[in-house]
């Protein structure tokens, strides 16, 4: 199984009700050998129209944050917890997450990144198996699977409240330090 085959499988998926309302399956984008991976919540309107994650306003902010730590979008791999847009951008439902999480698990296994940054509550709670909210989880590096996980606010939450920008920048800087070898798994304090 490679990412291309997994994409084909996802594009034919009918495992949950979102298959009935989506325009496109939004599988993921970026380098298949990326050292850093971003996991958001679910596609929005623009992503559903284009079939590409994080292309709307939140996506532009994500691209900016990446560039601030010296990365281009293509250096990273970008995906979401849900591959299909929930109608009217409502929250993902438990059964939708359960139906979809195998795709994300396989994407992470195939890309095998050193750092995963979870954007917002849904990705953080799923990947760290926690009920604790993002405000309390962020600001730290967690040793996770083969690498490290850094939770931060969702860029859409930063757009709603720009005061969160400073904290998000601090979290992205943790990723930068991991990537240059300044922070190691042993020092991760999750």
Residues that bind ligand URA (CB under 6 A): 40-44, 47, 53-54, 56, 58-59, 80, 156
* CB closer to ligand URA out of 86 and 183: 86
Closest distance to ligand URA from the beta carbon of 173 (Å) = 22
CA–CA dist 104, 26 (Å, integer): 12
CA dist 135 to 30, 56, 124, 154, 178, Å?
28, 24, 11, 11, 21
- Backbone Cα Rg of the chain: 15
Number of CB atoms found within 10 A of residue 159's CB:
15
* CB closer to ligand URA out of 90 and 189: 90
CA–CA dist 83, 52 (Å, integer): 10
Closest distance to ligand URA from the beta carbon of 163 (Å) = 20
**Minimal CB distance to ligand URA: which residue?**
40
* CB closer to ligand URA out of 66 and 188: 66
Closest distance to ligand URA from the beta carbon of 180 (Å) = 27
* CB closer to ligand URA out of 58 and 108: 58
* CB closer to ligand URA out of 41 and 188: 41
CA dist 139 to 73, 79, 114, 130, 132, Å?
22, 21, 18, 16, 14
Closest distance to ligand URA from the beta carbon of 33 (Å) = 21
Closest distance to ligand URA from the beta carbon of 26 (Å) = 6
CA-based nearest residue to 68, from 190, 139, 152, 168: 168
């Amino acid at each position: 199984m490679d990412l291309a085959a997994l994409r084909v499988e996802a594009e034919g998926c009918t495992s949950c009700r979102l298959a009935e309302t989506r325009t496109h399956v939004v599988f993921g984008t970026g380098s298949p050998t990326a050292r850093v991976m971003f996991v958001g919540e679910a596609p929005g309107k623009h992503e559903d129209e284009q079939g590409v994650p994080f292309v709307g306003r939140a996506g532009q902010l994500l691209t900016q944050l990446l560039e601030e730590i010296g990365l281009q979008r293509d250096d990273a791999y970008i995906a979401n917890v849900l591959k299909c847009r929930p109608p009217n951008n409502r929250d993902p439902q438990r059964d939708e997450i359960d139906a979809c999480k195998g795709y994300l698990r396989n994407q992470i296994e195939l890309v095998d990144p050193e750092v995963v940054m979870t954007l917002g509550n849904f990705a953080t709670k799923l990947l760290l198996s926690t009920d604790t909210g993002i405000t309390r989880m962020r600001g730290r590096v967690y040793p996770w699977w083969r690498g490290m996980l850094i939770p931060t606010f969702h860029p859409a939450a930063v757009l709603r409240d720009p005061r969160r920008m400073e904290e998000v920048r601090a979290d992205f800087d943790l990723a930068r330090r991991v990537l240059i070898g300044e922070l190691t798994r042993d020092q991760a304090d999750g």
